[in-house]
């Protein structure tokens, strides 16, 4: 696939890149080179190759997320605010920071 000047200008416009007319031939050469590499990559046989989500194999066991009252740890408001300097109805009381 080879790009022409009009296509290069259209791509630049879609990418919101301002280009001068004298830069179009150089950009056309660059984009055609990139497209050539892509065509070359499409020739690679990937049959039977499993998709990768990471380049590093990870087999980390996950721990169970269990607390005294289930995974959320709720149901114990007294313990949650026990060390707070000031509380009201099991909520933290903080100074106003927005005037």
pLDDT at 77: 83
pLDDT at 57: 75
Query: CB under 8 Å to 10, separation ≥6 — which residues?
Result: none
pLDDT at 58: 75
Residue 32 lies in a domain: yes
pLDDT at 62: 79
pLDDT at 75: 72
pLDDT at 44: 92
pTM of the complete model: 0.48
Residue 26 lies in a domain: yes
Give how many domains the chain has, as a whole number.
Answer: 1
Tokens of 46: 């990937």
pLDDT at 73: 59
Q: Which domain holds residue 29?
A: 5-42
Tokens of 54: 């990471």
Cross-strand partners of 88: 91
Low-confidence ranges of the chain (pLDDT < 50): none
């Amino acid at each position: 696939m080879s790009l022409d000047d009009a296509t290069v200008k259209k791509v630049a416009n879609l990418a919101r890149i301002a280009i001068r007319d004298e830069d179009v031939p150089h950009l056309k050469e660059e984009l055609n080179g990139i497209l050539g590499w892509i065509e070359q990559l499409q020739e690679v046989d990937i049959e039977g190759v499993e998709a990768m989500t990471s380049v590093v194999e990870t087999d980390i066991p996950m721990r169970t997320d269990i607390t005294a009252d289930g995974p959320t740890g709720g149901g114990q408001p007294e313990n949650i605010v026990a060390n707070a300097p000031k509380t009201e109805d099991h909520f933290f009381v903080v100074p106003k920071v927005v005037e």
